[in-house]
């Protein structure tokens, strides 16, 4: 994988014209774009297709969490948008994730993955919802369950890369948000790491939003991050 292909740009917008324009500008400079609930709720599948039609791969980050049959149907529908990566919540359980894995294969989606613990959460947040185990233990538990289900990887904090690699092996895909270059603001992410440190730790894909999308020159910001990853 080339350095720039590791970078997926997180879109925090409802503006489809802006998203498509950014996709055109960044095509060939990043690996893809992550499209979340805000954009999808505003623009639906057609909005996603508008981005994929530019030739920009899309990570459709909708974090499905429902009964197995409903999630399987949602995954199959996601495949029609041309998305390259889709995800579910690992906390939906083994049965739900097995259904998602099978549906992902049927829909020919290259990568169907699960979310473990959101990177905006810390230990206090976890305790507040009744999970008293350390974050690392809970993340590893959910990652192993994800692997057992047949899904290809997880979204996780960079801080949990090493223990997940130990538990799940080198081929399990790790998609890592909460990535902030040294020159960017931390924002609302609580468990963060620089791009180079995350790749050195074993991340496969880095999800980076505001350091690129809110930069004065998004193209230059993307190039700067890719250059940081060259040779790692």
Active site amino acids? 63
> Are 61 and 36 spatial neighbours (Cβ–Cβ below 8 Å)?
yes
Structure tokens at 230: 């060259």
CA angle 188, 7, 232 (to 5 degrees): 110
> Are 86 and 62 spatial neighbours (Cβ–Cβ below 8 Å)?
yes
Residues 6+ apart with CB under 8 A from 104: 75, 79, 86, 111, 112, 151
Taking the C-alpha atoms of residue 155 and residue 174, their distance in angstroms, rounded to an integer, is 6
> Are 58 and 83 spatial neighbours (Cβ–Cβ below 8 Å)?
yes
Taking the C-alpha atoms of residue 100 and residue 104, their distance in angstroms, rounded to an integer, is 6
Look at the block and give the residue holding tokens 């939003």. Answer: 209
């Amino acid at each position: 994988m080339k350095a720039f292909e590791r970078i997926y740009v997180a879109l925090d917008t409802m503006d489809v014209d802006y998203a498509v324009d950014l996709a055109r500008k960044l095509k060939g400079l990043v690996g893809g774009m992550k499209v979340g609930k805000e954009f999808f709720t505003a623009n639906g599948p057609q909005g996603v297709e508008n981005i994929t039609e530019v030739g920009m791969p899309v990570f459709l980050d909708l974090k499905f969490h429902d009964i197995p049959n409903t999630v399987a149907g949602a995954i199959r529908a996601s495949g029609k948008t041309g998305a390259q990566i889709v995800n579910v919540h690992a906390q939906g359980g083994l049965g739900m994730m097995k259904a998602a894995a099978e549906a992902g294969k049927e829909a020919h989606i290259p990568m169907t993955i699960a979310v473990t613990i959101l990177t905006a959460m810390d230990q206090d947040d976890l305790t507040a919802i009744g999970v008293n185990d350390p974050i690392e233990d809970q993340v590893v538990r959910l990652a192993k369950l994800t692997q057992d289900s047949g899904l290809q990887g997880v979204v996780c904090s960079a801080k949990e890369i090493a223990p997940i690699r130990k538990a799940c092996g080198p081929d399990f895909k790790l998609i890592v948000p909460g990535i902030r270059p040294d020159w960017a603001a931390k924002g609302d992410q609580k468990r963060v790491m620089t791009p180079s440190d995350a790749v050195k730790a074993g991340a496969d894909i880095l999800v980076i939003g505001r350091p690129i999308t809110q930069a004065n020159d998004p193209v230059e910001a993307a190039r700067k991050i890719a250059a940081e990853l060259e040779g790692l």
